Structure 1
Amino acid sequence: MQITVKLFATLAGHLPAGARHNAAELDVDDDATPATIIERLNLPREKCHLVLVNGVYVVPSQLESHRLKPGDALAMWPPVAGG
């Protein structure tokens, strides 16, 4: 199945070649979860602070159990600091 992955800030460097506007289309297994995408893209798990699927927050304890569906948009941001 195909999903869209959007990575922001320092995570964007982990997108595969051909990504545009911080997003890439990925073909993934039917049992894919946010955790399997994090692993596949070699993202540092501790840097995937905010994870959304179709704009809905996925709590860290559900990253391994939340099953993605065809056409889902998975977006991730690192921790944000500022002043």
Structure 2
Amino acid sequence: MKVGFKLFASLTDLLPPERDGNRVELDLEEGTTIADVIARFRVPERSAHLVLVNGLFIPREARASRRLAEHDELAVWPPIAGG
């Protein structure tokens, strides 16, 4: 199944060089979870602060059980401080 995956801010460097900006299209097996994708790209758990699937927030405790579906868009942001 095809899934879009975006990493933002400092996490963008974890994507492969052939990425399209901060996005890659993944070909995943059925049953792949959010946690599986985060681990595949070696995103540190503490750095996966804000996680959205199709624009909907996924809490930390749901990421290991939330399976992705065809054409989902998974986006991950690190904690960001500002002033």
- Deviant stretches of 4+, over 6 Å: none
Q: What's the offset of the Cα at 1:18?
A: 1.0
Paired residues, what number? 83
Percent identity, aligned pairs only, is 43
Give the Cα separation in 2 of the matches to 1:44 and 1:53: 18
Partner of 1:22: 22
> Which sections of structure 1, spanning at least 5 residues, go unmatched?
none
TM-score by length of 1: 0.96
Partner of 2:41: 41
Partner of 1:67: 67
Partner of 1:13: 13
> How large is the Cα RMSD of the aligned pairs?
0.7
Give the Cα separation in 2 of the matches to 1:79 and 1:17: 23
Give the Cα separation in 2 of the matches to 1:6 and 1:77: 9
> Which sections of structure 2, spanning at least 5 residues, go unmatched?
none
Give the Cα separation in 2 of the matches to 1:31 and 1:8: 25
Partner of 1:76: 76
